[in-house]
A and B are shown apart, each in its own frame.
Chain A
Amino acid sequence: MVLTGAAAWFFWAFALIALIAGLFTVLSRSAVHSAVCLMTTLFATAGLFLLLGAEFVMGVQILVYVGGVVVLFLFVIMLVNVREERLENARLFSRQWLIAAICATVLGLAMWFGIRLADPYQNLRAEIPPAEATEAKTNPQGATPVSKNSETLAWSLYTQAALPFEIASLLLLVAILGSVLLARTSRQERIDERSVFRD
């Protein structure tokens, strides 16, 4: 697959934003800054998903990841970090930062070699089949037809991945219960205990 022309420019843009934002996520002093940078990375990634034709996933990414997870992060930062920012002007990185950097670099190099060893780009440079291009041209009104991506994805989801789907819903249930229990205050726990014993 090769993206050419304008898609390529968008690719570079999104890619660079994602990378730089990711870098800042890791290197920011303030946790809020890190959260915002994370959000940026996720938005950029969503854009990349769109470029690659996965519209549904893009939507899910923005709704769930950005709208849910990052907001959750921000709430928790608010809960725990307020004092943290003022009091601690201490180290940002732990004592193993050097080894961490080296490991990351080595890992990167290893993956680079892995990518290089893959089939030398012929496969990866395959042209987009003419069928899709034809379909893009045969619509004269200029209106872009609705992508069939969600439809086919839904078909795959509810047929191929039906079991993981159900399990995922179970997982979410457990996560909900778990997070409610974990986040209880001790006062809430005592109230509950008393109500249990009264039975």
Chain B
Amino acid sequence: MIDGSLFDLSASTTKFLILSSLLFVIGVGGVLARRNIIVIFMSIELILNAVNINFIAFTRHWQVLGKINEHTGELFTIFVITVAAAEAAIGLGIVVSLYRNRETVAVDEIDLLKW
């Protein structure tokens, strides 16, 4: 990292992007690595969150560059949140059903579709 973008104390859009990607990566690691399905869901929320940060950062970026009425990113974020909420509701409903049937929330143990 030769250029001073990381050691620069001002927060540019780049920094927001880096933050967003880090959160995203953490979330992906959580989805892939954890056994508890609730925690996996939370990791998914992290991912979505990271994406929201990305959107808002770019909204501001374009607004600063000239487009006063640019709200696309925000709109997108609103819809992401909406969908995340709906998805969480359904997903957790599935988790509850799953728990009632299998008595477990560890994804490792739910392998009926194994070959």
Contact with A along B1-41 (1 / 0, CB 8 A): 00101000111111111110111111111101111101101
Once A31-B36, A49-B56, A56-B74 are accepted as A-B contacts, the answer to whether A183 and B96 lie under 8 Å apart by CB is: yes
Contacting pair A115 B29 (CB below 8 A): no
Q: Is the CB of B11 within 8 A of A175?
A: no
* Interface size classification for chain B: 35 or more
Given the contacts A41-B49, A61-B52, A157-B78, A152 and B23 also touching, CB distance less than 8 Å: no
8 Å CB contacts to B: which residues of A12-61?
12, 15, 18-19, 22-23, 25-26, 28, 31, 34-35, 38, 41-42, 45, 48-49, 52-54, 56-57, 60-61
> A96, A99, A105, A153: which contacts B74 (Cβ < 8 A)?
A153
Interface size on A, residues (CB 8 A): 94
Chain A residues within 8 Å of B61, by CB: 1, 124, 126
Contact indicator B66/A79 (Cβ below 8 Å): no
The reply to whether the CB of B64 lies closer than 8 angstroms to some CB of chain A is yes
Bound CA span A40–B33, Å: 21
Q: A45-B53, A112-B18 are in contact. Are A22 and B108 (CB under 8 A)?
A: no
Contact across chains for A80 and B108 when beta carbons are under 8 A apart = no
A101 contacts chain B at the CB level, 8 A cutoff? yes
Task: Kindly report which residue of chain A lies nearest to residue B100, judged by CB atoms.
Answer: A185
Interface majority SS on B: helix, strand, loop or mixed? helix
Q: Nearest Cβ in chain A — how far from B64, in angstroms?
A: 4
Q: In the complex, are the beta carbons of A182 and B90 less than 8 A apart?
A: yes
Whose C-beta in chain A lies nearest to the C-beta of B37? Answer: A80
CA distance A92 to B16 in the complex (A): 31
A156 to B71, CA, bound (A): 7
Q: A73-B42, A124-B14, A157-B75 are in contact. Are A22 and B27 (CB under 8 A)?
A: yes
Q: What is the bound-complex CA distance between A2 and B57, given in angstroms? A: 11
A178 to B95, CA, bound (A): 13
Instruction: List 9 A-B pairs, minimum CB-CB distance, nearest first.
Output: A182-B93, A100-B32, A175-B86, A26-B30, A11-B11, A104-B29, A3-B11, A100-B33, A156-B71
Which residues of A line the B interface, CB within 8 A? 1-4, 7-8, 11-12, 15, 18-19, 22-23, 25-26, 28, 31, 34-35, 38, 41-42, 45, 48-49, 52-54, 56-57, 60-61, 64-65, 68-69, 72-73, 76-77, 79-81, 84, 88, 90-97, 99-101, 103-105, 107-108, 111-112, 115, 118, 120-121, 123-129, 152-153, 155-157, 160-161, 164, 168, 171-172, 174-176, 178-179, 181-183, 185
> 5 new A-B pairs (CB below 8 Å) besides A12-B11, A178-B93?
A1-B13, A3-B10, A69-B45, A84-B105, A121-B12
